[in-house]
Structure 1
């Protein structure tokens, strides 16, 4: 195994690099795209947060550790919504950090339009967009 001479990258730098390659969306844009059938919202928050804060109606709930398995259009464990590599996926976490890394991982699988929601679920709720208990 080759050892890299590059310096270690901290999480803040990694997040900055990842986000530079994403067309991140604001809550209203994500809402409009989902309503128009132009985007699949994917909620990766863990169950305790969903129980506490509620759900975004129509969002596909996928635990973060299952995300790649469920959204890979070629995968044997894919969700029915994972219809192809052109699918526009908007990943939503609680505050918009983990979702950036998750969207970058989906892009590595060929989902070239994967992105995430700026500010996550908390931004969605703050914008007054629909949430169900």
Structure 2
């Protein structure tokens, strides 16, 4: 299987959202999870209210059955995963779905959010370890 096939397979299971849809979900209580590296968040900013979690920790922090999950993670709380442009986030959201998380991703990633003129918080927040 190629990466393009993996991405297509992952996206076939996602109900991806555009920036306005992600904002609406956030306003309804969804958790926005930013998996971008610290350097990207430092250079470009962050979505206000988002939780930065490095990709290598993602499943442990969001698996409802994990002893290491974040306290704000609940089985009924949707999660929108954000990366730079919406590629890595699709793969990550599909992985989270396998764990039973109500996950999707932001089509176009953080850069689409910023281009849509939605709020951006400058300066990086340390990622959840």
Q: Do both proteins adopt the same fold according to a TM-score greater than 0.5, normalized to the shorter chain?
A: yes
Q: Distance in 2 between matches of 1:23 and 1:32?
A: 14
Match of 1:59 in 2: 50
Q: Is 1:119 aligned to 2:108, yes or no?
A: yes
Match runs of 1:3-82 below 5 Å: 9-37=1-29, 39-82=30-73
TM, length-normalised to structure 1: 0.89
Following superposition, the deviation at residue 87 of structure 1 comes to 2.1
Kindly indicate whether the alpha-carbon contact (under 8 Å) linking 2:86 and 2:107 is maintained by their aligned counterparts in 1.
yes
Q: Distance in 2 between matches of 1:26 and 1:36?
A: 15
Gaps of 5+ in 2: 123-129
Kindly indicate whether the alpha-carbon contact (under 8 Å) linking 2:14 and 2:104 is maintained by their aligned counterparts in 1.
yes
- The list of structure 1 runs, each at least 4 consecutive aligned residues, that deviate by more than 4 angstroms after superposition, is none
Q: Distance in 2 between matches of 1:81 and 1:71?
A: 9
Kindly indicate whether the alpha-carbon contact (under 8 Å) linking 2:7 and 2:91 is maintained by their aligned counterparts in 1.
yes
User: How many residues are matched?
Assistant: 122
Kindly indicate whether the alpha-carbon contact (under 8 Å) linking 2:83 and 2:110 is maintained by their aligned counterparts in 1.
yes
Following superposition, the deviation at residue 66 of structure 1 comes to 0.4
Q: Distance in 1 between matches of 2:62 and 2:116?
A: 27
Gaps of 5+ in 1: 1-8
Match of 2:84 in 1: 94
Following superposition, the deviation at residue 117 of structure 1 comes to 0.4
Q: Could you say which structure has the greater relative contact order, defined with CA pairs below 8 angstroms and 6 or more residues apart?
A: 2
